[in-house]
Chain A
Amino acid sequence: MPRLGLWLRWSLRDLRSRWALVLAIGLVIAIGTGVNAGLGSMEDWRVDSNDASFAALHAHDLEISLTEGTTAAAGSLSRLVNRIPAAGRVEAVEERLLLQAQVEVGRPGTGSLLRPAEVVGSPIGPRGPRIDGVYAESGRPLRAGDEGRPVAVLERGFAAYNDLPPQGRLHLPDGERLRYVGVGGAPEHFLVTRPGGGDFGGAEAQFAVVFTSLRTAQEIAGGRSRVNDAVMLLEEGAPVEVVRRQLERALAAARLSGEVTTLVEEPAHRVLYKDASGDQRLLDVFAFLILAGAALAAFNLATRIVEAQRREIGVGMALGVPPRELAIRPLLLGVQIAFAGTLLGLALGLMMGEIFRGVLEDLLPLPEMRTPFEIGVFVRAAAISLLLPIVATAIPVWRGLRQTPVEAIRVGFRSARGSGVAGLAKRLRLPGSSVAQLPLRNTLRAPRRTLLTVLGIGAVLSVLIAFLGLIDSFDATIDRSEAEAAQGNPDRIVVSLDGFHSARAARQVVEDAPGVAAAEPQLTLPVTLSAPGAEGFRGAVTLLNPSSPIWAPTLTSGAAPRPGGREILISEKAAGDLGVDVGEEIEIAYPQRRGSGYEEARASVRVSGLHPDPFRTFAYADSSIAAAAGLTGAANQVSATPEPGASTNQIARALFRAPMVASVERATATTELIRERLDDFLGVLRVIEAFALALALLIAFNSSAISIDEQRRENATMLAFGITPAKTMALAVAEGLIVGVLGTLVGLCGGFLVVSWVVSHTLPDTLPDLGLVIEIAPGSLAAVAAVGVISVALAPLLSARRIRRMDVPSTLRVMD
């Protein structure tokens, strides 16, 4: 009886003769498992990096933020904190002054930049601010000696986006000059967000954050010893919510308008953690599809290799070899593929760690990045890569062992296999000669093989179409928002004021600026919109003139808010989320002026109409809300139309030193920021796209190589009858074309389903403020169709040499 040694030697000889195929199938599995492991680790990597980064810079546990335009005497907020009952649990408190301003930054060689900015003034200890520390990515951080000096650190994203050097100079509107000594960041600004921009972040591209000392910020604000913010660290285990409620009561008692927020409510913190989990759901879909594609392909390919050994299994049976021993050799093939897949998968998994680390560093500017090799995730993927080829080889072995030895050792016509479902096409008189019909007939003849190949290619292509579909959907959504912001007045600019000012004075300031043709003051208030039975959300309501010659929102249904009618115009997305329609009531919570500060007030308003902007945060109301808020005649924005030929930059420069002006931007600036952010996010998907493409090509090549091997006698017969190798290859290409078309159709359907699922199930959690439009552009469809069809159809050409050099006589005499 043959011993194990013989089977092992035999198997090694098998390996020598087809190592390339074993390696190629191993690579298919490796891409599937490696990408799966890499994508599966993303959430852990991001959460670990977030935790480490927030901890390293002592991110605050609680923050008191006074309402816009409200300040308090320095020391008053610290005293307020120290007087609450749980003051003993507060480990440290620091007062800060946050200012909205414009900055002009010198840029070597390309002129200076003028951008809206936030100046964050914090007390500077020996290593910078103790709470919400500022790290320096390049240059140096702030230190004790910088207190009161015109020295700052510039936010890294802004510097990187605008190619700014690690040190330079900043100019502020009132003539203040700051020297920035480094570029870096702080926990609140790991991700820079702006009001109205949703949770996308990405504002760093056009919004500068300047970290400086508290005294320097106070100097910039006019030299008064005022603060508008306080951050605290609590003792380990301190009841955050209890302390927060006590602080809220203390604020109210001190008649100070503001809010107390926890770290988890901080936009950067909330978005970073929420994105980590939300993005993972999306990545899991891609990871599953890549793995499924690889699994189907590997299963198909391994099965087809072992099918070729069935006759040898039969011969062994005829010789009386026990079935369990006969199974050893083909199963060893599975083991070889499994090992190749696991080893390559391990290498690829480690490589993915490096690739995704780079992608994450671009996406998440965190001071601490943690991308360790996630053993657990990889072991899960490796288990699949080990099991898959063994199962794939076990099935044909089992089928081979079920046949009788007589059947197994039959040669020639007696071993002829069935025609699959080719019979379905025999009554169908297709155009073209019998030669031309061969490709279709061959695909029908082996339906299982065709199906597995089609599904494998389809799964991988669905990743590509999903990727492109998501980009198209984002683009279509942002285009819609941009079109709404620019409609009727594409050059419109928005001038943000540094607080609430007289509307008349604000209009005058802007209209007086050179290059401004017309201006209209606006009042935009932060609001929370809610309705019974629906989860409320934060937004901004702009009180505007519905018959404004400068800009008014488009109406998709209903009407503009009537003056004095306590009505509101909300987006279709907001109406959908709140479950209301035109004519129904919703509740808004808005700031109401009380003495020198603001308190939250609530009002029930009627939905007068809907607008098409996909951002649910944008709402518009009549001026009666201004009266209710105690802000009649006030404005904090001015919408303006430039004169023909005047640029936003020219107007921004003209208004740089104007009183009350904080920033000047194009009306479409928010959507431009979102596009920037989207590009960063797409970096992750581009890695997947590259691997999906490689996988599709590998599957196509392996499948065609095995097909050509399986059909070698048919090819030899054609060559013997005088059909040229070129035509024989053309038939193989046509067969590939059919499989490619079918695979692409499956991929397109699968991709559309994935995009629909992501848009309707994942993104509402990740990006709740955005009503994404599902769109797959014809260009994307054409691109994926081209990749799918062309790569699979042309794959046989890689085996052209085998056809050209085929030993026709020997092949024709093969008895199998």
Chain B
Amino acid sequence: MDARSSARTARPAPAPSPRESLVELTGVARRYEMGEVTVTALEQVDLRIERGEFAVVLGPSGSGKTTLLNMIGALDSPTEGTVRILGRDITDASRSELFAFRRHTVSFIFQTFNLFPALTALENVEFGADVSGRGDARAVASETLERVGLGARSGHFPHELSGGEQQRVAIARALATRNPILLADEPTGELDFRTGVQILELLHEQTHEEGTAVLVVTHNREIARVAHRVIELSSGRIVSDAPNPGGPADISELRW
């Protein structure tokens, strides 16, 4: 499917009914010792994300958005509290268990894409399928790249692609893992409006078609309009966590 046409036709998705809880944070705190100073990045965070949910985390710089994402992605561990993913407490999981968890449960999209410059678009996507142990990685990669509208660009290296194309490859790489949780850190931060919309459309589609839980961290309030749920952070605490009033807006209504 062409991402641009899909952006035009996408309709606001209905709020999901109570479903399987994929992510559950209880009383999570994260503090960093910086010499004699203790910096609190997160404090008393309770959060639950369900399958098929599209949630946006908002907040100013230093509010703890990325730390929250890192906790869910098992890149960081809480100082206090528990993190349960797919019903399993990963708070005290060993390093090897965390690596296995990342391979099979979460996938990432980064603001700066972080594609492998020595691999082609197809190979970058294949990487995602490979690490999560999907059967025919090449076939999965081709299919996913087609899905993000880049089938014709599969043989190109990242430096031969535009920013939007690179981020679509990064999304395809994350989707190719077929993992149930997709974490996106400022996925449109590097992109112009038009390209950003295409990216959001892809993420949205993923929640609807695959039931993937998508958690987007951004400081762009406009993006929050298309989410099922908006979580606001300030100084490491959740100051608001509620469904979008009136439901998610149509992506075509977004402006920034």
* CA of A713 to CA of B73, assembled, Å: 17
Known A418-B159, A434-B119, A442-B118; contact A720-B113, beta-carbon cutoff 8 A: no
Residue in contact with A721 in the complex, picked from B66, B76, B102, CB distance below 8 Å: B102
Interface locus among B85-93, B127-135, B225-233: B127-135
Q: Shortest CB–CB separation between residue A178 and chain B, in angstroms?
A: 78
* CA of A412 to CA of B158, assembled, Å: 12
A719: B residues at CB distance < 8 A: 99
* CA of A413 to CA of B114, assembled, Å: 8
* CA of A444 to CA of B119, assembled, Å: 11
Interface residues of B in 141-179 (CB under 8 A from A): 141, 155, 157-159, 163, 166-167, 177
A411: B residues at CB distance < 8 A: 112
B126: A residues at CB distance < 8 A: 433-434
CB pair A422–B157 under 8 Å, yes or no, is yes
A445: B residues at CB distance < 8 A: 117-118
B185 at the A interface (CB under 8 A): yes
CB pair B114–A435 under 8 Å, yes or no, is no
Interface residues of A in 108-167 (CB under 8 A from B): none
Residue in contact with A419 in the complex, picked from B76, B130, B159, CB distance below 8 Å: B159
B38 at the A interface (CB under 8 A): no
CB pair B116–A721 under 8 Å, yes or no, is no
A383 at the B interface (CB under 8 A): no
Residue in contact with B114 in the complex, picked from A418, A717, A722, CB distance below 8 Å: A717
Residue in contact with B159 in the complex, picked from A412, A417, A723, CB distance below 8 Å: A417
CB pair A809–B116 under 8 Å, yes or no, is no
* CA of A417 to CA of B155, assembled, Å: 17
B75 at the A interface (CB under 8 A): yes
A611 at the B interface (CB under 8 A): no
CB pair B127–A721 under 8 Å, yes or no, is yes
Interface residues of A in 406-433 (CB under 8 A from B): 411-414, 416-420, 422-423, 426-427, 433
The A interface, classified by DSSP as helix, strand, loop or mixed, is helix
CB pair B114–A433 under 8 Å, yes or no, is no
B190 at the A interface (CB under 8 A): yes
* CA of A441 to CA of B117, assembled, Å: 9
A716 at the B interface (CB under 8 A): yes
| A-B Cβ contacts below 8 A, count | 118
Known A413-B158, A433-B137, A438-B118; contact A813-B111, beta-carbon cutoff 8 A: yes
Residue in contact with A813 in the complex, picked from B66, B96, B132, B141, CB distance below 8 Å: B66
B137: A residues at CB distance < 8 A: 433-434
Residue in contact with B116 in the complex, picked from A420, A438, A444, CB distance below 8 Å: A438
Size class of the contact patch on chain A = 35 or more
Known A413-B166, A722-B100; contact A441-B127, beta-carbon cutoff 8 A: no
CB pair B131–A714 under 8 Å, yes or no, is no
B198 at the A interface (CB under 8 A): no
Size class of the contact patch on chain B = 35 or more
CB pair B130–A720 under 8 Å, yes or no, is no
CB pair A808–B75 under 8 Å, yes or no, is yes
A815 at the B interface (CB under 8 A): yes
B157: A residues at CB distance < 8 A: 418-419, 422-423, 426
* CA of A723 to CA of B67, assembled, Å: 21
Known A414-B163, A717-B116, A808-B75; contact A722-B130, beta-carbon cutoff 8 A: no
Q: Shortest CB–CB separation between residue A807 and chain B, in angstroms?
A: 9
* CA of A384 to CA of B124, assembled, Å: 44
B235 at the A interface (CB under 8 A): no
CB pair B104–A722 under 8 Å, yes or no, is yes
A4 at the B interface (CB under 8 A): no
* CA of A714 to CA of B111, assembled, Å: 14
Residue in contact with B117 in the complex, picked from A416, A434, A815, CB distance below 8 Å: A416
- With CB as the reference atom, state the residue of chain A lying closest to B166: A413
A489 at the B interface (CB under 8 A): no
A721: B residues at CB distance < 8 A: 102-103, 107-108, 127-128, 131, 177
Q: Shortest CB–CB separation between residue B168 and chain A, in angstroms?
A: 12
CB pair B163–A809 under 8 Å, yes or no, is no
A375 at the B interface (CB under 8 A): no
CB pair B163–A412 under 8 Å, yes or no, is yes
15 A-B pairs with CB atoms under 8 Å apart are A411-B112, A413-B166, A416-B117, A422-B119, A441-B118, A445-B118, A714-B117, A721-B108, A722-B100, A724-B99, A808-B75, A809-B70, A809-B76, A812-B110, A813-B66
**Which residues of B approach A to under 8 Å, CB–CB?**
66-67, 70, 73, 75-76, 96, 99-104, 107-108, 110-114, 116-120, 123-124, 126-128, 130-132, 137, 141, 155, 157-159, 163, 166-167, 177, 185, 190
Known: A445-B117, A719-B99. 7 other contacts (CB 8 A): A423-B157, A426-B123, A435-B127, A809-B66, A813-B66, A813-B111, A813-B112
* List of 10 A-B pairs having minimum Cβ-Cβ separation, nearest first: A722-B103, A722-B102, A441-B118, A445-B118, A419-B157, A433-B130, A434-B126, A416-B159, A717-B114, A434-B127
